[in-house]
Structure 1
């Protein structure tokens, strides 16, 4: 079995610079709890989205197991739109209602999900039998989970915490189990 530990990043300080948005003080505090929860899981590999907040959320577990963090572009957050949205709640609900719909310059659920699944399948081949931590983001994480089981949907995404950890256990490329390791609430 291969275990993928998807770690939704901790709370971040908002900036329009998606790539370099850092964790907030609360986010750094919560990231130390991520270490405590994952250090007993026998982690072999730590990977992350290229976004700073995702890297910062998992860098403690990488330090704990004395490894570097591999960067995987496919686990970056989905691009919702390149034009600022006046109503984020409406904009995000719309793409979840119609998986083929995309806003200007953005990714539809189908496109983002394909990107995430392609990266997931590559990891399952390359790290077969390993325990892999993946620092990522809420939307792309749920889209990946949704590919395997439709119960992981918009409503599920709305109830995620920052951070949140889901352990997905695979037999080859077949999802066998999903377990929530932790959430703030």
Structure 2
């Protein structure tokens, strides 16, 4: 079995600079909780989106296990639009309602999902039988999960916390189990497919 711990980044300071947007003060504190939780899980390798907020969320566990973070560009957040959108929720609803639809300069669900899934399958090949942390983002994470099980949809995305961790267990390339890791209680929560939202 291979365990992929998808870590949705902690709270960040908003700016239009997607690549370099850092965690907020609250986000940095929550990243410490993430590290404390992951350190008991015998992590073998840490991978991340190149975006700073994702890297900052998982860099603590990388330091603890003495490994360099492996940056994989295809775990970056999906590009919703080339320009800021007037109504973010409406834009998200449109792209999730039609997986082929995209806003100007943005990625459709199908396009973003394809690159995220390809990156995931490469990780499964490279690190078979290991425990891997992947620092990533809400929309691309759920699109990846949706590929393996369509119950993970926009409503699931709406309930994600910042940060949030989901353990996806694979037998080769078949998803066999999903468990949420409860960050704010700093313990492994065996809750199967039930969705709970952590307190902010």
Q: C-alpha distance in 2, partners of 1:182/1:142?
A: 17
Q: Corresponding residue for 1:110?
A: 110
Q: Corresponding residue for 1:122?
A: 122
Q: Corresponding residue for 1:70?
A: 70
Q: Corresponding residue for 1:53?
A: 53
Q: C-alpha distance in 2, partners of 1:41/1:179?
A: 13
After TM superposition, the score normalised by the length of structure 2 is 0.91
Please report how far the alpha carbon of residue 83 of structure 1 lies from its aligned counterpart in structure 2 after TM superposition: 1.7
Q: Which runs of 5+ in 1 are unaligned?
A: none
Q: C-alpha distance in 1, partners of 2:93/2:174?
A: 29
SS, match of residue 19 in structure 1 = coil
CA contact (8 A) 1:75 1:119 kept: yes
Q: Corresponding residue for 2:22?
A: 22
Please report how far the alpha carbon of residue 147 of structure 1 lies from its aligned counterpart in structure 2 after TM superposition: 0.4
SS, match of residue 56 in structure 1 = helix
Q: Which runs of 5+ in 2 are unaligned?
A: 184-197
Q: Corresponding residue for 1:5?
A: 5
Structure 1 position 158 matched with structure 2 position 158: yes
CA contact (8 A) 1:166 1:182 kept: no
SS, match of residue 124 in structure 1 = helix
1:25-66, Cα deviation, whole Å (9 max, x unpaired): 000000000011111110000000000000000000001111
Q: Structure 1 runs of 4+ off > 4 angstroms?
A: none
SS, match of residue 95 in structure 2 = helix
SS, match of residue 100 in structure 2 = coil
Q: How many residues align?
A: 185
SS, match of residue 160 in structure 2 = coil
SS, match of residue 165 in structure 2 = strand
